[in-house]
């Protein structure tokens, strides 16, 4: 069974819907399970125990949500030299009003510090959450689960 950790923060529910769509894509894959966690509850242990991480953040003030930054702040020291986290596959989902690049760039910079490995193009939702963007999130979840299962990431 492969385990995909999906870390999210959401104030008004938009990013939550995207994160849930990623989780559905994971659980729609045989022998894969999604571990959907609010960023404030996610720990270094969760990262160590999973096979891949999907970070789902709204863009606030041109940056990631404070709760996502807090997740990085709390886990960095423990994970930066951790062999189990080295090259851990990751992907990013951003929910924004009209941009999203600030949040994405800052998350990707931090992931480099963790030496995670980006294995999927990010999904950026700009404006309302549509069926199309939910389908992209579902697909991202399915692809990352399949890729980990097949050992291609
Ligand atoms: C405090 C605050 C700051 C925001 N800053 C940005 C921003 O810099 N760029 C942007 O595109 N959208 C911005 N937005 C819009 C949110 O990214 C957008 O409404 C998103 O869907 C919120 O996701 P959530 O429902 O998961 O919290 C901001 C919203 C809030 C509440």
**Which residues lie closer than 8 Å to 124 by C-beta, 6 or more apart?**
93, 94, 96, 100, 101, 104
Q: Tokens standing for 96?
A: 């924004």
Q: What is the mean pLDDT of the chain?
A: 97
The CA–CA distances, whole Å, from 73 to 18, 67, 77, 95, 109 equal 23, 10, 8, 21, 13
Pocket lining: 97 vs ligand 1, CB cutoff 6 Å: yes
From 18, 59, 61, 100, give the residue whose CB has the most ligand 1 atoms within 8 Å, as the site to mutate: 59
99 lines ligand 1 (CB under 6 A): yes
- 84 has a pLDDT exceeding 90: no
62 C-beta closer than 6 A to ligand 1: yes
CA nearest neighbour of 8 among 125, 145, 113: 125
Averaged pLDDT, 77-103: 95
Task: Give me the mean pLDDT over the 132-147 stretch.
Answer: 98
Residue 5: predicted pLDDT: 98
Average pLDDT over residues 2-22: 98
Give me the mean pLDDT over the 78-102 stretch. 95
CATH class of segment(s) 2-150? alpha beta
Q: Which atom of ligand 1 is nearest to the CA of 61?
A: 8
pLDDT band at 90, cuts 50/70/90?
A: very high
Residue ranges of E strands in 1-145: 2-8, 32-38, 52-60, 63-64, 89-96, 117-118, 123-126
Q: How far apart are CA 148 and CA 7, in angstroms?
A: 18
Query: Residue 85: what pLDDT?
Result: 87
Q: Which residue has the higher pLDDT, 84 or 147?
A: 147
Tell me, in angstroms, the distance from the centre of ligand 1 to residue 102's CA.
Answer: 11
Of the pLDDT bands very low, low, confident and very high (cuts 50, 70, 90), residue 27 is very high
pLDDT at 138: 98
Please name the residue whose Cα sits nearest to atom 3 of ligand 1: 60
- Cα(60) to centroid of ligand 1, in Å? 5
Q: Which atom of ligand 1 lies at the shortest distance from residue 62's CA? A: 8
Q: Give domain limits for the chain.
A: 2-150
Q: Which of 78-82, 92-96, 104-108 has the lowest mean pLDDT?
A: 78-82
């Amino acid at each position: 069974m492969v385990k995909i950790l999906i870390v999210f923060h959401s104030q008004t529910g938009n990013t939550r819907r995207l994160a849930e769509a990623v989780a559905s894509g994971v659980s729609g894959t045989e022998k894969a399970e999604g571990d959907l966690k609010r960023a404030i509850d996610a720990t270094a242990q969760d990262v160590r125990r999973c096979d891949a991480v999907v970070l789902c953040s709204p863009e606030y003030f041109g940056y990631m949500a404070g709760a996502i930054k807090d997740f990085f702040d709390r886990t960095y020291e423990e994970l930066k030299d951790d062999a189990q986290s080295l090259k851990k596959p990751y992907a990013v989902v951003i929910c924004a009003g009209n941009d999203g690049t600030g949040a994405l760039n800052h998350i990707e910079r931090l992931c480099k510090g963790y030496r995670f490995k980006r294995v999927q193009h990010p999904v950026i939702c700009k404006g309302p959450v549509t069926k199309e963007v939910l389908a992209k999130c579902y697909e991202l979840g399915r692809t990352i689960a399949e890729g980990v299962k097949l050992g291609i990431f």
